[in-house]
Structure 1
């Protein structure tokens, strides 16, 4: 059968896909119908006869990209714990360990593994507690920390740079993928537009109406901090407005989305509220984060936010934190973090079960709820 002839434009396009776009010969062959042997011949000719090409910026970028790709493949082959001729399962395990440190195309080309096979192995193979899953979990924690510390400013590039400086072996591609999964976006782009949209969407549904008719109708929350042994600890608490009962609290070393979300999750799973729940807070970035807002939407919880610069909109929380500090934290010099945490735990029990509240007719929060539930249903408790 007579071989088909190809135009110079077809040859150039195919070679550029390999040298510039780093596509594999197999993919190009499958897409164009050109045999692999023909493609290899064209690529070899382009590589060994550079004098036939005009030296342009495009050609320079093409050669630069090709050199970096080849350097990466060599590096992968040097550190992989198997060769490209090893059994497929060994090669897949080696790629799993290197995933996130190198471009997936480069990894698969180095150990001769089809990308579809690799993705299937990584993302569809439902194995429990794999090394890969554990590592992704560790990376997620540090990414969230850096994102929060930058006040949601850093994107994938800057977070990758910080992590590499700290010794993490991670690529920008992996960081971007994990940030996308976590719902983390840099606020640098279109900040003014986002700010204007945010001001329209952050509605104050509570409007200082602190009297409610039932438990689990309105929860309010805030975060405060306390210095113990010169270390700043953040305390997040949630109060049910009906009896002013603390339904959830947590202590952390960072005022992060993770802190407020885990506190809400603790309260929600403990109380199991029935009916519409309103959750009111200030406009802190942790409460406004994508992760927090999407989590509450999934539960059907309505978010309410204080007006900017109006502390009275969340005065119940302000009053509680004032009591916590005046009645406990400011009165004691804690010798350790454990002693400080134990004191906060004890105060929460005291506040709910033993401290009469004027708003409750000097009944404790637990007592007032028990009266309500005694008439309605069995009481709900905070774990």
Structure 2
């Protein structure tokens, strides 16, 4: 072994160290893949960003870049496709707000939160995941999985985001969403305004 290592310019110690590193890397990747598959059993269409958030929340620390590399290498990236569950109904008489973020650059966290609702199939039925994401850090600051599209789910996600972010870090914060009834309803708008969060819509 020492002769072979010498031919390739390695010391024996360096060779065995590389084996230990590669073995550790493979074991760690196996753990990550196991977690990915467990989440995908419950939520087959869940994407990389949401997987990253759930894994870190669950106590497994992995960088966004490392997770996406593993997903890519194992052909596990989810391609976006047309949604078949309607999550937005803007045909209502509630007040709609102007778009405040067109052409705006955000260079730090807690300047812009983007709210969205995505659907997930759970045991053959739709459930709705309300998310609030920081536009700069891409961190999910609030979420709620709800059985219906009623405003309760979006309200709970917003409440979580507000409680997780100190008031002094929400100065000048803009909340951006579509014009769905969940975001235009009186309770949701009242919660935003009472916390001095500006409202922006598409």
Query: What TM-score do you get using the length of structure 2 for normalisation?
Result: 0.51
Structure 1 residues 252 and 206: CA distance shift in structure 2, 3 A: same
Assess if the C-alpha contact under 8 Å between 2:115 and 2:177 holds in 1: yes
Answer yes or no: is 1:212 the counterpart of 2:121: no
* Greater length-normalized contact order (CA 8 Å, ≥ 6 residues apart): 2
Equivalent position to 1:257, from 141, 145, 151: 151
Structure 1 residues 239 and 295: CA distance shift in structure 2, 3 A: same
* TM-fit CA distance, 1:230: 1.2
Structure 1 residues 274 and 293: CA distance shift in structure 2, 3 A: closer
Q: Note the alpha carbon deviations across 1:8-52, whole angstroms, 9 max, x for none.
A: xxxxxxxxxxxxxxxxxxxxxxxxxxxxxxxxxxxxxxxxxxxxx
Answer yes or no: is 1:243 the counterpart of 2:146: no
For 1:29-48, what aligned pairs fall within 5 Å after superposition? none
Give the gaps of 5 or more residues in structure 2.
1-88
Q: Note the alpha carbon deviations across 1:183-242, whole angstroms, 9 max, x for none.
A: xxxx9xxx7xx47xx3xx520001153x31221111001001111211111001111111
Answer yes or no: is 1:299 the counterpart of 2:195: yes
Cα RMSD, aligned residues only: 2.1
Q: In structure 2, what is the Cα distance between the partners aligned to 1:270 and 1:277? A: 14
- Please tell me whether Structure 1 or Structure 2 has the larger radius of gyration of its CA atoms: 1
Q: Note the alpha carbon deviations across 1:284-322, whole angstroms, 9 max, x for none.
A: 10000011111111111111001xxxxxxxxxxxxxxxx
Q: In structure 2, what is the Cα distance between the partners aligned to 1:249 and 1:274? A: 18
Equivalent position to 1:289, from 172, 178, 185: 185
Q: Which has the higher strand share?
A: 2
For 1:337-376, what aligned pairs fall within 5 Å after superposition? none
Assess if the C-alpha contact under 8 Å between 2:170 and 2:197 holds in 1: no
**3-state SS of 2:148 partner:** coil
Q: Which runs of 4+ in 1 moved over 2 A?
A: none
* TM-fit CA distance, 1:248: 1.3
Structure 1 residues 221 and 208: CA distance shift in structure 2, 3 A: farther
* TM-fit CA distance, 1:271: 1.5
* TM-fit CA distance, 1:274: 3.4
Q: Which has the higher helix share?
A: 1
For 1:98-137, what aligned pairs fall within 5 Å after superposition? none
Structure 1 residues 229 and 274: CA distance shift in structure 2, 3 A: closer
Q: Number of aligned residue pairs: give it.
A: 111
Q: In structure 2, what is the Cα distance between the partners aligned to 1:261 and 1:276? A: 20
Q: In structure 1, what is the Cα distance between the partners aligned to 2:118 and 2:146? A: 11
Equivalent position to 1:270, from 164, 168, 179: 164
Q: In structure 1, what is the Cα distance between the partners aligned to 2:142 and 2:112? A: 13
* TM-fit CA distance, 1:281: 0.2
